[in-house]
Amino acid sequence: MTQEKPVFPYIPNSAPEVKKRMLKEVGANDIMDLYAEIPQQLRFPGQLDLPEPILDEYSLKRHLAGLLEKNKNCADYLNFLGAGCAEHFVPAVCDEINGRGEFLTAYVGESYADHGKWQALFEYCSLMGELLDMDVLSCPLYDGAQAAATSVRMAARINGRREIIIPRTMSPESRLVLRNYCQPELSLSEVGFDPKTGQLDLDELRKKVSARTAAVFIENPSYLGFLEGGAEEIGKLAKHHGAEFIVHTDPTCLGVIAPPVHYGANIACGDFQPLGMHMQAGGGQAGFIATVDDMKYVAEFKDLMFGITDTVQEGEYGFGEVLFDRTSYGSREKGKEYTGTTTGLWAITAAVYLSLMGPKGMEQTGRTILQMSQYAAKRLARIRGVQAAFDSPFFKEFVLNFDKTDKTVAQINEALLEKKIFGGKDLSKDFPELGQSSLYCVTETKTQEDIDTLVSVLEKVI
């Protein structure tokens, strides 16, 4: 018995009768008549080497769930990994809105039928603008790392210079992305840090910054968690030499920590994954760039910008694309870098998050993170052989050093995993100068009991 060809629920015209009727309608005897333009030698003979299909929905669901259950997840495990992707509280309303089919499946529709999308993205820019105390943002970028890369390229386009100064403590992930985006024209120069505090070495910066410097880029909070106390001074040094001062920041700190513009940055950037996105193994990352309102900066954004304007109806808001020819959609290779599909749904989610939080929610979130991470750092540093690597104030993440235990971070993390704990990010490869050190991330999702559990397990492990 020959097996009957299935009718696919997602392919309405796979129903044989319909298909036949349509073929007739277009004057074809066989479906391959429609491929007449593809020469025989370019046609793939035979059948693609793919597994047997799972045709019914129930079995497909079982199969997928079976695979995902092989992953250990942070709902079951206690997680202290951060390093650019952090576990934060996600309000239910965020998931409700980004699960709406209208938002989930919209794409590049105009501002009439897709007015709601345009407004939501305009609100994302507006709310981020308030958080950062800056006037100008574009549609979102791919992630914080790429936002950093575009920020430095913007600076180089503005002042025509080629050298970028970055801190040695910069996120290794971001640095790899930045290095790629700087080729072939821009060069990167690293400035070291004070081994006691982690703070950028200002003397070294003074030696390196010059009339050739396009931008001085810092992270605040840094990848290693500490806050740059000298940020304002760094900005002054950069500007003194005519360079742009770019600050990569964590939006969750901005209810309690000053936004970059308050200490002199004209370009701020970062990753807004913490504002309502689940971690999704990094799939929640999304980038932003914000600047002050000056055409010098506005003209250098590479992504679409949605401007609010009037319609023909009095008192009605509409939206339109601002400086479209700036983008590669408008001007191909003459546009600013390239633009495309980035992270629109996460921008809408961040708008929901910030609307729910308001000023008090952001302040409380920042405060809880400060308290919990400080509590964790204090308790952990009391364990014999464990010490805080830096004595600077920090936000959310901090470095613990284990040199005085007789164990490596890898061994410690392995033992923690057995107790269903994901220990901090092992820094020994990326920062050998820090010895056996580990970057711990403690957000508002951690309770006193969680920290106490970590402490008691670590005490036994070490």
Considering only residues 373 through 432, tell me which ones interact with another protein, judged by CB under 8 A.
Answer: 374-375, 378-379, 393, 413-414, 417, 422, 425
HSE value, Cβ hemisphere, 13 Å, CA-based, for 143: 16
DSSP β-ladder status, 306-310 and 287-291: unpaired
Measured from the CB of residue 16, what is the shortest distance to another protein in angstroms? 11
Q: Which of 406, 388, 386 is nearest to 397 (CA)?
A: 388
Measured from the CB of residue 99, what is the shortest distance to another protein in angstroms? 7
309 is a site residue for another protein (CB under 8 A): yes
Residue 185 phi, psi (nearest 5): -95, -35
Instruction: Name the segment binding another protein (CB under 8 A); options: 129-137, 156-164, 204-212, 234-242.
Output: 129-137
Measured CA to CA, the distance from residue 347 to residue 121 in angstroms comes to 7
1 is a site residue for another protein (CB under 8 A): no
Binding mask 194-233 for another protein (x = CB under 8 A): ---------------------------------x-x-xx-
| Interface with another protein (CB under 8 A), residue from 1, 2, 4, 70 | 70
Report how far Cα 449 is from the mean position of its chain's Cα atoms: 29
Instruction: Name the segment binding another protein (CB under 8 A); options: 156-164, 199-207, 240-248, 328-336.
Output: 328-336
Measured from the CB of residue 237, what is the shortest distance to another protein in angstroms? 16
Structure tokens at 245: 């001062």
- Please state, as a whole number, how many other Cβ atoms lie within 10 Å of the Cβ of residue 300: 21
Measured CA to CA, the distance from residue 232 to residue 236 in angstroms comes to 6
Measured CA to CA, the distance from residue 222 to residue 209 in angstroms comes to 20
456 is a site residue for another protein (CB under 8 A): no
Binding mask 108-127 for another protein (x = CB under 8 A): xxxxxxxxxx-xxxxx-xxx
Rank residues 213 and 251 by Cβ distance to another protein and give the closer one. 251
Instruction: Name the segment binding another protein (CB under 8 A); options: 188-196, 199-207, 235-243, 302-310.
Output: 302-310
Rank residues 359 and 385 by Cβ distance to another protein and give the closer one. 359
Rank residues 211 and 317 by Cβ distance to another protein and give the closer one. 317
Measured CA to CA, the distance from residue 446 to residue 66 in angstroms comes to 28
Rank residues 211 and 417 by Cβ distance to another protein and give the closer one. 417
Measured from the CB of residue 316, what is the shortest distance to another protein in angstroms? 5
What one-character-per-residue DSSP string does 357-411 give? HHHHHHHHHHHHHHHHHHHHHHHHHTSTT-EES--S-BSSEEEEE-TTSSS-HHH
| Cβ-count burial 65-99 (b if 16+ within 10 Å, e if not) | eeeeeeeeeeeeebbbbbbbbbbbebbeebeebbe
Measured CA to CA, the distance from residue 99 to residue 118 in angstroms comes to 17
Query: Residues binding another protein: what is the number (CB under 8 A)?
Result: 212
Measured from the CB of residue 38, what is the shortest distance to another protein in angstroms? 5
Q: Which of 181, 155, 375 is nearest to 243 (CA)?
A: 155
2 is a site residue for another protein (CB under 8 A): no
Measured from the CB of residue 208, what is the shortest distance to another protein in angstroms? 23
Considering only residues 248 through 287, tell me which ones interact with another protein, judged by CB under 8 A.
Answer: 254-259, 262-263, 271, 278-283, 285-286
| Interface with another protein (CB under 8 A), residue from 28, 381, 388, 462 | 28
16 is a site residue for another protein (CB under 8 A): no
